Amino acid sequence: MIATKAQRLKAAWVFFCVFVPLWLLAAPAEKTVWDGIYTAAQAERGRKAYTQYCINCHKADLSGIEGAMKGEFFMERRREDNLETLFLDMKATMPRGNPGGLPDQTYTDIISFLLQNNEMPAGSSELKPDLLEHIDLIGKDGPKPVPNFAPILSVGCIIETGENRWVLINASEPIRTRDSFQKIEKEIVASQQRALGQYTFRLADAENFDAAAHLEKKVQVKGVIVRAPAGNRINVNSIEPIAEACQ
């Protein structure tokens, strides 16, 4: 008896329950925050702008709003992402009462001040707004899997293992997304080029996103990553087909 494609995919799911952590094998980013991507003079400009526009909410020592700008909370919220996300979040919400009201370079200078206060080294070249998306914010000990409960996307193949029980197999390493609900064309283009991986995730609530229509297709799944002893899952917020064949 010749196995159907769906049966082969299901067999692959069993095999890939044991996997190599691909984040250990990933190629390094172009630059990271540990590569000296701002200057000390720029951080000083950022300090002055921070004092003028940010200090009332975030405090002089950056400890305001649950330490959103410094230390462990800052790193867990921001790591495994590029600096453009931090820039866009700042621009959308700050200064209070006038979000988006500062020049892009001023927001970037403030980011330099934040990096300095998080013990990330200065260098010889200034940080510019158009460079932010090419610089990864990672911990000093290098890249790690995205934190638990982060909004993520992953590319893989959907199979059904029971009634309304959906699994993403051959899945790529989850990466952060800025919006796990909306279709973002830039992400779709990147996902179309992203190779399948060796991860497996149970998909919670996938039936609400017409999962049956995407069987045996290569898809981009977005949602919230939940890592647990009983198994890892994605609480699904969107499913987008990106290729007719899952290969």
Using alpha carbons, list the distances in angstroms from residue 59 to 52, 64, 159: 11, 5, 50
CATH no. for residue 160?
2.40.50.200
Q: How far apart are CA 170 and CA 201, in angstroms?
A: 9
Considering the domain architecture, whether residues 71 and 106 belong to the same structural domain is answered as yes
Domain end marker among 104, 137, 170: 137
Residues 110 and 53 in one domain: yes
Distance of CA 221 to the CA centre of its chain: 13
Q: Tell me the whole-structure pTM to 2 decimals.
A: 0.79
18 alpha carbon, distance to own chain's centre: 24
CA torsion through residues 149, 144, 68, 51, sign: negative
> Could you give the C-alpha distances from 66 to 49, 62, 80, in angstroms and in order?
21, 9, 20
Same domain, yes or no, for 131 and 48?
A: yes
Output the pLDDT for position 132: 97
Q: Do 87 and 73 share a domain, yes or no?
A: yes
Q: Which of 116, 137, 158 is the last residue of a domain?
A: 137
Give the CATH number, domain containing residue 40: 1.10.760.10
The number of beta carbons lying within 10 Å of the beta carbon of residue 125 is 12
Q: How many structural domains is the chain composed of?
A: 2
Claim to verify: residue 187 and residue 105 sit in the same structural domain: no
Quick one: 204 and 165 in the same domain?
A: yes
Each residue's pLDDT expressed in tens, for the chain with a length of 247 residues: 445 554 554 444 444 444 444 444 344 448 999 999 999 999 999 999 999 999 999 999 998 887 789 999 999 999 999 999 999 999 999 999 999 999 999 999 999 999 999 999 999 999 999 999 999 999 999 999 999 999 999 999 999 998 889 999 999 999 999 999 999 999 999 999 999 999 999 999 999 999 999 998 999 999 999 999 989 999 999 999 999 988 8
The answer to whether the bond into 95 is cis (omega within 30° of 0) is yes
Same domain, 56 and 99: yes
From 113, 137, 161, the end of a domain falls on: 137
Is 181 in the same domain as 206?
yes
Same-domain check for residues 151 and 227: yes
Nearest to 196 by CA among 236, 245, 148: 245
- Cβ neighbours for 240, distance < 8 A, ≥ 6 positions apart: 183, 188, 191, 219, 220, 222
Q: What is the pLDDT of residue 11?
A: 47
| DSSP state for residue 1 in the 8-state scheme | -
Which tokens sit at 89? 């979040």
Does one domain contain both 128 and 187?
no
Q: Which domain holds residue 105?
A: 31-137
Query: Is there a single domain that holds both residue 100 and residue 194?
Result: no
Q: Are residues 222 and 149 in the same domain?
A: yes
- Provide the pLDDT for residue 243: 94
Rounded Cα gap, residues 44 and 63, in angstroms: 19
